Structure formats: structure tokens, C-alpha cells
Amino acid sequence: MRIATWNVNSVRTRAERIGAFLTRGDIDVLCMQETKCADDKFPYSVFNALGYDVAHVGYNQWNGVAIASRVGLENVRHEFERQPAFAKTGEPVREARAVGAVCGGVDVWSLYVPNGREIGDPHYDYKLEFLWRLADVVQPSAHQALCGDFNIAPRDTNVWDVSFFEGRTHVTEPERAAFQMLLETGLSQVKHEEPYSFWDYKSARFQRNQGMLIDFLLATAPLADGFERAWVDVEERSGKGASDHAPVIAQFDTHTLDIDAVR
């Protein structure tokens, strides 16, 4: 099974490009983030025509997450238990940042972790709370994958110049500790040779290879036992109309899965 995660930065803008990627990459399950549309505006027809079922959570033009699967889509969940809500002022609302489904015997989550904005901003605390509560989702004995844009660079080598990020989010000790806490619940990060998955549109970051690794596939031990290889499709970050993220893809041998055990 090939599982990919990709912050597509507007699914309606890039629907045809995403469809071409699915075909070219022979992808079984695609987790998408920042779809930036409400459920009724999602381009389902593009995916259905290629043989994919879609679970999408989107309330407006912000955030948005989806799972497209050609190996089944069962037990769809539009949020995780105790998922936090946020509002800088007024009544907090639960944002479109998590969707889960069982795909071909694997419990898959597509996640868009809050950015954090600035250290000390309420959004930073919201980010940490989101990660702490996400830990309750992990089922170490199940075949499970948590995929998405985590908005954290866990190690100094995951950014092009750590000194550039001094005093900024994504590299702070509390964020990294929260990411490590997730791993300690029973997850491992799939490994690939490519150092980055995100290059900002500003300052020609992609052309200068000034990137960050903030997009991850995290697998429980039973799924990781079948891990074969992983890579970042850097070419998808190039050319006209590209997202500022590239897809991260992992291949697993799932032929021995007990599908009924995860339904």
C-alpha cells in the first residue's frame, strides 16, 4: 500500500494536478491538508473519476483536511476525541484539522496541526494542546498512520538554517517535546533521503533549497513492520501552480493485515 500526505494549499486550485499525481505515483491513500473549501465545494468528481472515495472536513475557506482512498473508506471520523477548539476572541470553534478513516485495513488520519503563529500567541498554546490531545488517538497495537502537516521541525537538520528560526515557532523546545511525546505513544517516523518537504513561496526558497521538513507519516509498530521505503516527491514543488509543500510518500507491505480487526 502506498500512503501519501500532501498539504495541497487549495484543492480546488490544484485538483487536476493532484489527480495526475495520484495516477503517476500509483497512490492508494492520499491525506490532504489545507484544502481551503467547505464540504459542498470539494471537487469530488475529479477523485471519483479516478476510482477514489473521499472523506473531507471543511467548513469554510480556511484549513480543511481530506482522505482519498482507492482501497476502501470506512469508519470515517470528522474529528478526534477531545479535539480542541480555538478563537482568539469570542466563542471557540472546532476547526477543520482532522479526519480519520479505515483504508484497506489501516486506520489513517489526515492532520493539519495549528501553525502557532508566534511564541506567546494564543494560537501557540492551541497548537500544543492539539498535539497533547492527539496523543490519545494513537493505538500502538493497531495498524495506524498519522499523516499530515505537523508544523514542527523536530530536529535542527530539518530546517535550512536553524539560526534563521531563532525566536520563531516550529523549532521551539515545547513544540519539539510535544512531537516527541507523540512518538513515545507508539509511533515511528518513516525515513526518507530528501531533507525537506516545504519551501516558502517567499524569497525564492525553493530555488535556493531553503526548506523545512514539517510533513510526516507516523506509523505504529504493526504498520511500520511492513515499511518498505519512503520518499518526498520534490518535483511536485516545482513548476507553475505548485503548492508550497511536496508530497511525502511511504510504501508498506500490508498483505498480511487482519482487516476486520481495525474496523
**Burial of 239 per CB tally in 10 Å (0-12, 13-18, 19+):** exposed
149: annotated active-site residue: yes
The one catalytic residue among 52, 53, 107, 112? 112
16 among the known binding-site residues? no
63 among the known binding-site residues? no
Using CA atoms, how far apart are residues 78 and 81, in angstroms rounded to an integer?
10
CB neighbours of residue 215 within 10 Å: 24
CB neighbours of residue 156 within 10 Å: 12
255 among the known binding-site residues? no
Say how many residues make up the chain: 263
Packed helices 122-134 and 173-184: angle between N→C axes, nearest 10 degrees: 10
First to last CA, the chain: 17
CB 251 within 8 A of CB 8: no
78: annotated active-site residue: no
112: annotated active-site residue: yes
60 among the known binding-site residues? no
Q: Which three cell numbers stand for residue 27?
A: 497512490
The one catalytic residue among 149, 170, 215, 233? 149
Report in angstroms the alpha-carbon separations of 88 from 59, 117, 220, 239.
18, 12, 34, 37
48 among the known binding-site residues? no
225 among the known binding-site residues? no
**Which residues are part of a known binding site for Mg(2+)?**
7, 34, 149, 151, 244-245
**Which residues are part of a known binding site?**
7, 34, 149, 151, 244-245
> What residues are labeled active site?
112, 149, 245
